[in-house]
Amino acid sequence: MYNIILLNEVDSTNNYANHLIMSEAAEEGTVVLTRYQKMGRGYATNAWESAAGKNLLASIIFYPHFLPAKDQFMLSKVVSLGLYDFASKETADVKIKWPNDLLVDNKKLAGILIENSVKGPNLESVVAGIGINLNQTVFLSDAPNPVSLKQFTGKEYDVQEVCKTVTERVFSWYEELRKGNYSKIDLAYINQLYRHEEWTLFKKGDDRFEARILGIGEFGQLITEDRSNRIRTFMFKEVEMIL
Ligand code: BTN
Please tell me the distance between residue 66's alpha carbon and the centre of ligand 1 in angstroms. Answer: 25
The residue type found at 205 is: G
- Given this model, what pLDDT does residue 114 score? 97
Task: Verify whether ligand 1 is closer than 6 Å to residue 60 (CB atom).
Answer: no
**Ligand 1: distance of its center to the CA of 21 in Å?**
18
How far apart are the C-alpha atoms of 51 and 39, rounded to whole Å? 12
Closest CA to 172 of 12, 1, 46, 27: 1
37 lines ligand 1 (CB under 6 A): yes
Å from CA of 229 to ligand 1 middle: 36
**Which amino acid, 20?**
L
At 154 the pLDDT is 98
Cβ count within 10 A of residue 223: 14
Q: Is the dihedral of CA 182, 3, 22, 132 positive or negative?
A: positive
Ligand 1, from 9, 14, 32: best to mutate by most atoms within 8 Å of Cβ? 14
Q: CA-to-CA distance for 24 and 44, rounded, in angstroms?
A: 26
What's the confidence (pLDDT) of residue 100? 94
pLDDT per residue, tens digit, the chain (243 aa), is 789 999 999 999 999 999 999 999 899 999 999 999 999 999 878 899 999 999 999 999 999 999 999 999 999 999 999 999 999 999 999 999 999 999 999 999 999 999 999 999 999 999 999 999 999 999 987 777 999 999 999 999 999 999 999 999 999 999 999 999 999 999 999 999 999 999 999 999 999 999 999 999 999 999 999 999 999 999 988 999 998
User: From the alpha carbon of 39, which atom of ligand 1 is closest?
Assistant: 14
Task: Please report the pLDDT score of residue 61 as a whole number.
Answer: 98
C-alpha closest to that of 5 among 19, 23, 24, 26: 26
Tell me, using a 6 A CB cutoff, whether residue 57 lines ligand 1: yes
Check if the beta carbon of residue 207 is closer than 8 Å to that of residue 168. no
Q: Is the CB–ligand 1 distance for residue 43 below 6 Å?
A: yes
Residue 143: its pLDDT value, please? 73
The helix (H) or strand (E) run that includes residue 38 is none
**For residue 43, which atom of ligand 1 is closest to its CA?**
2
Atom of ligand 1 nearest to the CA of 44: 2
Residue nearest to atom 2 of ligand 1 (CA): 42
pLDDT, residue 237, reads: 83
With a 6 Å cutoff on the Cβ, whether 113 touches ligand 1 is yes
CA of 46 to the centre of ligand 1 (A): 9
Inter-residue contact 29 to 61 (CB < 8 Å): yes
Ligand 1 pocket check for 13: Cβ under 6 Å: yes
Whole-number pLDDT of residue 43: 84
| Nearest atom in ligand 1 to 41's CA | 14
